[in-house]
Structure 1
Amino acid sequence: MNVSNSLSTAVLALVLTYMAVILIFVFRGAKKTKSINDYALGNFLFSPTAVGLSLAASMTSAATFIINPGFVAYYGLSGVIAMAVVLPIAALGSLIILTKGFRKAGQTVKALTMAQWIGNMYKSKKFSLFFAFLSLLLITFIVLICVGLTKVLSASLQVDEIWMSLLLIGFIFGYMMFGGANSMVYTNMVQAILMVTVAIILLGSGFEHFSSGVYGFLDQLTAIDPLLGDWKNEQSPLFRDFFEIVICQLIVGVAIVCQPHIITKSLLLKSESHVNKFLWVAVLTEILFFSVVLVGLYVRILNPELMDEGKVIPVDNVVTWYVVNHFPVYMGLILILGLISAGLSTLEGLIQSLSITITSDIVHPLAGKLVNMDKNGIFINKIVIVLLAVVSFILTKDQLLNPNLSVGIFAQNGVYAYFSAAFFPVLYGTFRKETPVFAAFGASLTAVAVHFSVYYIPLTSYMQGPVKNPGIAAALAIVSSVVIGNLLILVDKKLKANQQQP
């Protein structure tokens, strides 16, 4: 990409300033972080607006702002329907329903992490340990964000992608060793405000394409390729028919909030009266953020062949190309800052929740009395973050060099498997307190087995191409887990009934 020296210099100055601001928040939060509990949930009194913006920033990441518009640029309106209409309806509806129940139950069982919540709710340390290990799949999401941020920064600063990813991971994981929740809520709030600004700019940047109305806009897409303006795209690996675009997205959307950096956010609220305001702020902000994928259609109209200097623009580079080539320097700076914020907001939440899970739910129970968590918990958590940084860099480097269409596919495969397994125990633990542990455990094991079997064997006609849709595997896994879980509940009732008979 052709990037002017003036833009590169300005971006460098902006990034250095941004880093300084983040470090100020981290330093402020670190002074208040005295224990692993403080790192996980904080000890400040957070406003519902701050936590709501923090949730919106965490829930919407580099995937929504940087990666997903690339899929829309390639596959058209079908991607918009799936990712900006169907998925948000399911995800935000599920968020509203699950948050209230999860928060009440979370306060009762005194959980710091998703694994603890599940273990305490079902009174099973083995179930908790299972979910703690399963949460390692969330590293794939960390990799997605690292790749997205690397693409934006390496292009705008004209730095090699591998070196950029190394510097990026070193800085982010480095400062996340300290402040935790006390600093993250405030950095997330600032990032969310920047993301709102960038979302408005990006969505407004294609206003001229609607000069002839919505139908005129769709006509421009159809003129490039009839499939771009259709509600489905049979030539895509992700949006081929009603099942992939609607059914799978609804199922996945309902379960997607069962990720620790999303659903545990409500535990930061100190008062029950704050929950509704928190949800209003989060949901309205999220609706705006999900709409950003429309930018992919703007890019396709501006660049019908998706070419840059004689080469096809990769899916993961579409938004970066648009920002660098379509906007003046001052506007490009704002957008780059917002895109960085989109990545950092979720990345911080993932690093925090995953490191706490490994420290509290894997290291502590396995080490037993050898580790004094009250005394050494923070130090152990820092070691865990260092190890996560090393693994993340290795996987990020591989995805930068050898992506299978997009890092989004890699991340979805891991993350979808996790929340497919989490859906049944979270839902039934929240709303059906008498659910037996073996039913919930069986449902989770079923979800993991079905997801990876469908994806890797592969099963069904949808999964036969070189690029497989993790949404298919996740949808089938979630449905299977719910069926098996309920069958096991019936078995439990039958066994109890037989035991009660004389």
Structure 2
Amino acid sequence: MNPENNWTLLIGIVLSLYAAAIIFFVVRGARKAKDMKDYAVGNINFSPWMVGLSLAASMTSAASFIINPGFIALYGVSGFISLGVILPLAAFVSLVILTKSFAKVGVQFNAKTMAEWMGNRFGSKAYRFFFAVMGLLLISFIVLINVGITNVISKALQVEPFYVLLGITVFVFGYMMFGGANSLMYTNSMQVFFKLAVALIMLGSGFYLFKDGFAPFMQKLHDIDPNLTGLSNKESPLFRDFFEIVICQIIVGMAIVCQPHIITKSLMLKSPSQVNKFLLSAIVFMIFFFLVVAVGFYARIFFPDLTVDGKKMKMDEIISNYVVARFSVFVGMIVVIGLVSAGQATLESLIQSISSSVTLDILEPIFGEGVTKNSLLTNKFVIIVLAAVSFLISWQQIVNPTLSVGIFAQMGVYGYFGAAFVPIIFGTFVKNVKASTVFTASVVAIIVHFGIFYFKLTPYMKGTVGNPGVSVAIAICCSVLVAVVLHIFNKNKAVA
């Protein structure tokens, strides 16, 4: 039998077994879900270690394993410092500080979704509805994961991306119609160990390049392109100077925790006293997951001209092609499953959090008792619509990306957590905050972020590709400034 056919057949078998295992855990978790509260936050008493594993699985996704290493392959050391060092460190610090306090405050407001927490915390139904609508920006993250997984599986099985994307959409969205938070805990715990195995395999796949030391390794990159070894890369659209590489990523890393599938994980803990164990298990695994971006260096040395069979690769295909070309059939099977797990873990969390918010925070306030009585059924229809929308956008990004689907996803995701940063920080640490203060701050963040990017304001937005990290960093600073001024004004007014 042709070795290529062997590879395709074995990968197909392993993917089928993996899918069967997922279905088993989904069914196991779904049996316990009786209403939308069970679907949204679960009703099984999971250990803090297990909740931490679920966070690690959902916080690092196809972006960390498939898309972001492509940026490093294109732009080198500057990209690694930004995405592999500064961003994770800022995220870990923010996660520790914010989660400990949010877990205590979060329990008080009995919320099932992030939007509901916002509404309850600030006593505003309008703000709750606003944030549920803002949550639709996270569809862009679903698109990124769809594209990443599709590229991996289509390369491994030698199947047209359209059919792979269709299969992923039907399968994942299909089982998420039934499996909520309970199922996520089981599937994420399985996926996180696949991801760890793959992280170690992929990081180890380039160790042979260091046999003569670190300097010769860097020389190989320098010989391909001197820009790859600089602390900044003037030729890139994302890593040109200290502001883009360090300052913006510190701000992004601090705010990235404010996504609903990340920050609300702490609400699954049965007691705030469990937070330390929860954080320890999550961060230990995530250290390895964030480091996977370094594989971009290996891929660039493996494909110095970034071509396969004489054809120039798109950035989002680089790691998929590296996996197929670099690994044996047996190791390749493990890596492919791990890469699929990397994306699927976050994809499940996003589907669960977005659909829950649409059902509970948008449709229920509009249609009232009809949705309340049939919330689980309504949620299934929401997931079907979400599947169709994400499929169409994902296919467009596969066929015609602007550099990378990563830029598209960053625009949406950054817009969401840019708007969420002030209300979460003020709602967690500041007392007597008016709803109008955080509402205004969120609107300012959205306007500034999308305004700077689409109107190409500042030199960082010139050229074909703008940097969403710059626009959201400025947006968050403006949002915080507005919130502080309004809060002080309201306090002085109350005293007067």
Aligned partner (choices 378, 383, 386) of residue 384 of structure 2:
386
5 Å-filtered alignment, 1:70-81, equals 70-81=70-81
Distance in 2 separating the partners of 1:73 and 1:484? 39
Q: Distance in 2 between matches of 1:92 and 1:287?
A: 9
The Cα offsets for residues 43-100 of structure 1, whole Å up to 9 and x where unpaired, read as 1111112111110110000000000000100000111000010001101100011111
* 1:44-63 correspondence runs (5 A): 44-63=44-63
- Residue identity (%): 53
Report the residue type matching 2:391 in the other structure: F
Find the counterpart in structure 1 of residue 212 from structure 2.
212
Aligned to 1:424: 422
The residue number in structure 2 matching 1:138 is 138
Residue by residue, what CA displacement relative to the aligned partner does 1:168-218 show, whole Å, maximum 9, x if unpaired?
101000000002011111100100000000000000111111123222221
**Superposed CA offset, 1:248-276 (max 9, x none):** 00001000000000000111111333210
Q: Which residue of 2 aligns with 1:170?
A: 170
Map 1:424-443 → 2, pairs under 5 A: 424-443=422-441
Give the AA of the match of 2:108. Answer: T
Deviations 1:136-157 (A, max 9, x none): 0000000000000000111111
Give the C-alpha shift of residue 3 in structure 1: 8.2
* 1:243 maps to 2:214: no
Give the match for residue 446 of structure 1.
Answer: 444
- Give the aligned partner of residue 95 of structure 1: 95
Conservation of the 8 A alpha-carbon contact between 2:95 and 2:257: yes
Separation (CA, whole Å) in 2 of partners of 1:299 and 1:389:
32
The gaps in structure 1 that reach 5 residues or longer are none
Structure 2 CA distance for partners of 1:150 and 1:124, relative to 1, 3 Å: same
CA contact (8 A) 1:323 1:332 kept: yes
Which residue is equivalent to 2:4? Answer: 4
Give distance in 1, aligned partners of 2:466 and 2:285: 31
Q: Which amino acid aligns with 1:407?
A: V
What's the counterpart of residue 368 of structure 1?
Answer: 368
Shift of 1:286: 0.8
Instruction: Give the AA of the match of 2:462.
Output: Q
Cα displacement string for residues 474-500 of structure 1 (whole angstroms, at most 9, x for unaligned residues): 1010001001111111221232233xx
Q: Which residue of 2 aligns with 1:289?
A: 289
CA distance in 1, matches of 2:468, 2:210: 33
* 3-state SS in 1 of match to 2:179: coil
The answer for the alignment partner of 1:352 in structure 2 is 352
- Secondary structure in structure 1 of the residue aligned to 2:258: coil
1:470-489 to 2 correspondences below 5 Å? 470-489=468-487
Where does structure 1 differ by over 4 angstroms across 4 or more consecutive aligned residues?
none
| Contact 1:3 1:324 (C-alpha < 8 Å) held by counterparts | no
Give the conservation status (yes or no) of the 8 Å contact 1:68–1:293: yes
Residues 1:227 and 2:221 aligned together: no
Q: Does 1:189 align with 2:189?
A: yes
Paired position in structure 1 for 2:489: 491
RMSD of Structure 2 on Structure 1 (CA)? 1.1
- Report the Cα distance in structure 2 between the residues aligned to 1:475 and 1:227, rounded to whole angstroms: 25
Distance 1:482 1:214 in 2: 42
Give the TM-score normalised by structure 2: 0.98
Q: Deviations over 1:356-393 (max 9, x none)?
A: 0000000011112343x2x3111000010000000011
Task: Find the counterpart in structure 1 of residue 324 from structure 2.
Answer: 324
Take 2:278 and 2:174, find their aligned partners in 1: how far apart are those partners?
30
1:105 is displaced (CA, Å) by: 1.1
Show the counterpart of 1:200.
Answer: 200
Which one-letter code corresponds to 2:359 in the other structure? T
Q: Distance in 2 between matches of 1:78 and 1:213?
A: 20
The alignment partner of 2:353 has SS state of: helix
Q: What corresponds to 2:399 in structure 1?
A: 401
CA distance, structure 2, for counterparts of residue 451 and residue 464 of structure 1: 15
Q: How many positions carry a matched residue from both structures? A: 495
Q: What is the CA–CA distance in structure 2 between the aligned matches of 1:24 and 1:380, rounded to whole Å? A: 24
Report the CA distance shift for 1:141/1:286 in structure 2 as closer, same or farther (over 3 A).
Answer: same
Distance (Å, rounded) in 1 between the aligned partners of 2:310 and 2:111: 54
User: Hey, what does 1:114 align to over in structure 2?
Assistant: 114
CA distance in 2, matches of 1:339, 1:465: 32
> Which stretches in structure 2 are left out of the alignment for 5+ residues?
none
* AA partner of residue 134 (structure 2): L
Kept in 1: contact 2:29–2:186 (CA 8 A):
no
One-letter amino acid of the counterpart of residue 188, structure 2: N
Contact 1:62–1:343 (Cα < 8 Å) also in 2: yes
What SS is found at the alignment partner of 1:4? helix
Say whether the 8 Å CA contact 1:138–1:414 is kept in structure 2.
yes
Does the aligned pair in 2 maintain the 1:3–1:155 contact within 8 Å?
no
* SS of match in other structure, 2:251: helix
> Does the CA contact (< 8 Å) of 1:156 and 1:324 recur in 2?
yes
Deviation digits for residues 103-127 of structure 1, max 9, x if unmatched?
1111000011110111111011111
Q: Is the 8 A contact 2:30 2:178 kept in 1?
A: yes
After superposition, the C-alpha distances for 1:441-480 in whole angstroms (9 at most, x for unaligned) are 1110000000000000110011011111110111010001
Give the Cα–Cα distance (whole angstroms) in 2 for the partners of residues 434 and 484 of structure 1: 16
**Contact (CA 8 Å) 2:302, 2:322: kept in 1 or not?**
no
SS in structure 2 of the partner of residue 112 of structure 1? coil
Question: Partner letter of residue 97 of structure 1?
Answer: I
Q: Would the aligned equivalents of 1:3 and 1:158 in 2 still touch at CA under 8 Å?
A: no
1:453 partner amino acid = G
